[in-house]
Structure 1
C-alpha cells in the first residue's frame, strides 16, 4: 500500500511515526484531562531547553512532549489517537476530506443518520401494513389510528428540516456565479442569509401543506366531514403549484448561463468547459425534462378526484393512464437528451464521436427497475378496483412497497453500518501495522495464519 499511496498522493504509512504519547508523558491510558495537564507541565519543565540545555536530543524530546500534550489534551484527537494511533491523527489532519470516517464527529453524525434512517424505514413498513389490514377489514381501526406511523414520519421530517436549516445558517460560501462584482462581504452575507431563510421558509411551507393534505384525507375517510374530494386535494394542488413556480428560477438561470460546449477547451476563468447559449430545441428539451413528471402528476390527481366524485365514468385502468404514460415520457426524455448531446458534439467538433451507449443503458435499466415495482402495484390496485370484490388483498397490492421499504431498512440498519465498520477496522489494522504482522490489512487482503504443530486440543 505504501507504494500505491506514494503514486496517488497519499502519505506513506511506513514513514509516519506511531509513538506512544502516554509513555512519553508517563501516565496511564485512562488518565483524565487534569492528570494529562500536570504530567505535561512536569515533563516540560524537566526537559525544557532553557533548563536542560540546547542539546538536539533534548530539543527533540521537548517537541515530542509538546506534541503528546497537543494530541492528548484535545478530546477529538485523543479519541482518534486511542483508536488509530499517531498515524490516525496525522491522516485526520491531512486527509480528513478523503477519509472522513476517521473524524469522531463524522462517525457520530453517521450513527445518527443510520438510526434516523432505520426509524423512518421502519415507519414506512408499518404504515402500509396498517393500511392493508384496515383496507381488508381485518381490523376496525379509524383511519386516524392507521396513519399514526405517517404522522411520526412527518415529525422526523420536520426535525430533519430544522437540522438542515441550522446547519445551513453556519455556512458562509456563495455558490452563485452571477453576484455583483462591487458587492461587499457584508452585503453578500446578508443576501446569503435572505436566500437561506427563503429556502427554509419554502421547505416548511411545503411540509405544512403535506401535513394538511394527510389530515384532510384522514378526516374525509373517517366521514368526520362531508367535503368533496376537490377540497381535500387543495393542499396537494398548492404543493404542485409551488413545485411549478420553484422551477422557473433555475430554468431561467440555466438559460442565462448557457450549456457547456464540447470543444475540448477549458475556460481559464471558471476552470471548466466554455459555455454557449442554448438552442431553441435544447430549451424545449430542458423544459420538457423539468416538467414532464409534474404534468403527469397533476393530470393523474385530477382524474382521481373526478373518479372519486363520480363525474368520470371510465374504468380504473383509464384513470391511471398518466401513470402508464410515465415510463414512455421518461424513455422519450432519455433519447431526447442523447440526441441533443450528439447534436452539440457534432456542431462543436465535426467528426468527433462520443459513446453514450453505457450511460443510456444504465438509465434504461434504472427506469425498468422502478417501473417494475410501480406498475406491479398499480396493476394489482386497478384489478381490485375494477373487480369490486376485494381481490387481490391490499397486502398483496402493497408487496412492492414492502420490498422497497425492507431494502431501505436493511441498508440503514445493517449494510451501511457494517460497511462503515469494515472500513474503520481495515484502516485501524493498516495504521497500527497489523498488515505487517500477517493480519488482515488494506494493502493485502489475504488471510494468513500460523501453522500449529502437534495434535489438536479441540
Structure 2
C-alpha cells in the first residue's frame, strides 16, 4: 500500500491517526497548563492574589500527573510485552538452552527492567524537587541543599543511563539552579551560566556554518549554509527576546524598575499562544486532512491498449 499510494499512506491508518491526535492533544494540554502556571506566578508575584505557592503550582502538578501516568503506562506495557516474549521464547526453546544461555537471558531481563524503571524514577525525582521548592516558598523549614538533592539525583541517573547527549545544557541548568539557591547578592552575576549558554549555541551555529562552507559539493554546501543562516537568524531573534525578558526580570529583582511581571512576560505569552495554536489546530490539520482526501490519480492505461490515430481510424472503418 505504501508503494502504490506514497509516503502519506501511513496517515490513512486509523491507529496512526489516533496516535498523532493523542500526541497533539497532550502537547496542547501541556501548553495550556504552562500558560496558566505563568499567569498564576505573575498574579502571585505582583501581589494580585494571596494564594499559597502550592495553589500557584497546580497547573504544573497537572503536567506532572500526566507525565507520571505516561511513565506508569510505559512501564506496564513494556513489562507485559517482555513477559509475553519470554513465555514464547520458553515454549520454543524449552529443554534446548544450556545454563550459560539462561544466565544471559536473565541478565538481559534484569537490564530491561532497570531501563523501564528509569523514566519513572526520573519523573518521581523531578516531582520531589518541585514539592521541596514549593514547601520552601511557602515558608516551611526546608534545608536548602535538600531542595537540589532530587535534581542532582535526576541528572546523575540521566547521565548514567542516557549517555552524554545534551550534557552542556543540563550542566548549565544544574549550575544555574545551584547559583539561584545559594547566591542572592547580585542577580546579574547569578545568571552568568545562562548568558554563557546563549553564547555557546551561537558559536555552535557559527561552527556549523564554517563546516558547511568547506564542503566540496558547492550546491549542497550552499543549501546547508542557507539553512544554517536561517536558523541563526531565528535563534538571534528568539535569544534577543529571551534575554530582554531576563534583563527586565533581573532589573525588577534588583528594584531598578517597577514593571509588573505579567507585562514583562507578554512576549512569552505570545510565543506560547502561537505554539498552542500550532499544536492544537494547524499541525493536526496539515498531517491528517490531506491523507483523508480522496485520491484523484488518473487511471494508468496499458500502452498496448491506448488508442492512437491510426487504430481509431481502422476501428471506424471496420464499424462502417
Could you list the per-position Cα deviations for residues 172-225 of structure 1 after superposition, in whole angstroms to 9, with x for gaps in the alignment? 9xxxxxxxxxxx9998876665454333222111111110111011111111x2
Higher Rg: 1
1:306 and 2:182 aligned? yes
1:326 and 2:197 aligned? yes
State the partner residue of 2:250.
Answer: 382
3-state SS in 1 of match to 2:29: helix
Q: Distance in 1 between matches of 2:37 and 2:263?
A: 15
Contact 2:17 2:288 in 1 (8 A): no
Shift of 1:109: 1.8
State the partner residue of 1:393.
Answer: 260
What does 1:9-408 align with in structure 2 at a 5 Å threshold?
91=1, 98-165=8-75, 170=81, 193-223=109-139, 225-246=140-161, 249=163, 290-308=166-184, 313-314=185-186, 316-336=187-207, 354-355=221-222, 356-387=224-255, 391-408=258-275
3-state SS in 2 of match to 1:334: helix
Q: Distance in 2 between matches of 1:358 and 1:185?
A: 54
Q: Distance in 2 between matches of 1:360 and 1:242?
A: 33
Distance verdict in 2 for CA 1:306–1:155, change over 3 Å = same
3-state SS in 2 of match to 1:392: coil
Could you list the per-position Cα deviations for residues 315-374 of structure 1 after superposition, in whole angstroms to 9, with x for gaps in the alignment? x1121111111121112233445667788x79xx9xxx9555224314423432441342
Q: Which structure features the higher share of helix residues? A: 2
Q: Distance in 2 between matches of 1:354 and 1:412?
A: 33
3-state SS in 2 of match to 1:322: helix
Could you list the per-position Cα deviations for residues 285-330 of structure 1 after superposition, in whole angstroms to 9, with x for gaps in the alignment? xxxxx5332332232222212224xxxx33x112111111112111
Distance verdict in 2 for CA 1:379–1:341, change over 3 Å = same
Distance verdict in 2 for CA 1:164–1:98, change over 3 Å = farther
Shift of 1:94: 6.0
State the partner residue of 1:411.
Answer: 278
Distance verdict in 2 for CA 1:293–1:197, change over 3 Å = same
Shift of 1:408: 2.3
3-state SS in 1 of match to 2:294: helix
Shift of 1:121: 1.6
Larger RCO: 1 or 2 (CA < 8 Å, sep 6+): 2
Distance verdict in 2 for CA 1:321–1:115, change over 3 Å = same
Q: Distance in 1 between matches of 2:142 and 2:55?
A: 21
Tell me whether 93-102 or 211-220 shows the greater mean CA deviation.
Answer: 93-102
Contact 1:117 1:412 in 2 (8 A): yes
Q: Distance in 1 between matches of 2:144 and 2:26?
A: 34
State the partner residue of 1:3.
Answer: none
Distance verdict in 2 for CA 1:98–1:424, change over 3 Å = closer
Q: Distance in 1 between matches of 2:75 and 2:5?
A: 28
Distance verdict in 2 for CA 1:221–1:388, change over 3 Å = farther
State the partner residue of 2:312.
Answer: none
- Which runs of no fewer than 5 residues in structure 1 stay unpaired? 1-90, 173-183, 252-289, 434-458
Contact 2:209 2:229 in 1 (8 A): no
RMSD in angstroms over aligned alpha carbons?
3.6
